[in-house]
Amino acid sequence: MDVRVWLLWALTVLVAASSARNPLYGLLLLLAATVVGVACAPANGRRPFLAPLRFAAVAVPFSALFNGLTAHLGEHVLFRLPAWLPLLGGPLTLEGLAYGATSGLALAAIFGGFAALNRVTPVHELVRLAPRAFHEAGVVLSIALTFVPQTARSLTRIRQAQAVRGHRWRGLRDGLPILVPLLVSGLERSMGLAEAMVARGYGSVADRPQPLRLRALLALGLLALLGGWLAWLFWPSGNGIALGAMTLGGGLIGTVLWLAGRAVPRTSYRLRRWTVRDTVGVLGCALTLAVVLLPLPGRGTLVYSPYPRLTPPGFDPLVGLGLLGLALPALWGEAQGDEG
């Protein structure tokens, strides 16, 4: 799928997991995100440093315990901690544990969504999404990402060379003979790279400061944002004006971004075509967003609170089906997910 569709998909997981506090829907979202992450990951894709289900195995009990120990509300008291204990003193309730577990599950579903995004989208496609106005920033990022493997190789070489000299890593102080040569060799390489860039004419284009009017527009946009935010915080009756000012500020910053981007030509050697899979991916997200955001029947089951007395959460099959719209990308599996 197109990387923009993947971004929409991850944002939809975020919105759905934040809105649905029902643990059954939370579990459904976590499973959908995990299945998509596994099914659509290319064979040579990045592996997440922590699998979503493992994250959930830590986050859910931790969150349940933390909330149980600190929120002393609910009718089913399991036991009481002495009142003189700061923060923890008081009854530990089943409801407190359930509320914490629900929050942990929502967090795990969000983590699962972004873990899948990180797994299925190649880094270069994410970098390519940067607006044209961020040309210099994009070059810095490209250099950094290109130099990471070289730096890792340098680190291995330096460690091996120091080991031959009898160096052993016993503590932070032993990092000195490794980290300083790593830094110096990296800076030496950057000097060579800078010379090569200047020799190829990089400075002749990039050494041009931004026009004054664009920067003034940028300052105006920030001023509108700040004014809107202050009004939103401290002027309860001026909500509309506050939101209007913030929208104006965002619009001005967006305009500057667009105007600055026009000065930077970008060449694409291979245009990616929009496919049926992208359309179905967008429709799946739209389905999920519809059941979460629109006042449709069964929407009430999204909200669940175990307080004051623990009751089983409700489940509406139509809402469940709507949330499963997020699992649609898994239908094409690895080969299709890798394509394009």
Number of residues forming the site for other proteins (CB under 8 A): 99
Q: Does 151 bind other proteins (CB under 8 A)?
A: yes
d(CA 236, CA 242): 9
Tell me the closest approach of the beta carbon of residue 46 to other proteins, in angstroms: 5
**The binder of other proteins chosen from 4, 31, 38, 232 (CB under 8 A):** 232
- Chain positions 245 to 274 lying near other proteins, rule: CB under 8 A, are 246, 249-250, 253, 256-257, 260
- Chain positions 10 to 39 lying near other proteins, rule: CB under 8 A, are 14, 18
d(CA 336, CA 39): 10
d(CA 78, CA 74): 10
Q: Does 156 bind other proteins (CB under 8 A)?
A: no
Site string for other proteins, 63-102 (x = CB under 8 A): ---xx--xxxx-------------x--------x--xx--
Preceding amide of 308 cis, omega within 30? yes
Tell me the closest approach of the beta carbon of residue 230 to other proteins, in angstroms: 7
**The binder of other proteins chosen from 43, 165, 168, 207 (CB under 8 A):** 207
- Residue among 141, 145, 112, 173 nearest 330 (CA): 112
Q: Does 173 bind other proteins (CB under 8 A)?
A: yes
> The tokens 């527009």 sit on which residue?
217
Q: Does 328 bind other proteins (CB under 8 A)?
A: no
Q: What share of the chain is helix, strand, coil (3-state, %, to 5)?
A: 75, 5, 25
Q: Which structure tokens are listed for 194? A: 């800078």
Q: Which structure tokens are listed for 21? A: 């506090």
**Nearer to other proteins among residue 229 and residue 332 (C-beta):** 229
Q: Give the H/E segment covering residue 241.
A: helix 239-262
Tell me the closest approach of the beta carbon of residue 31 to other proteins, in angstroms: 19
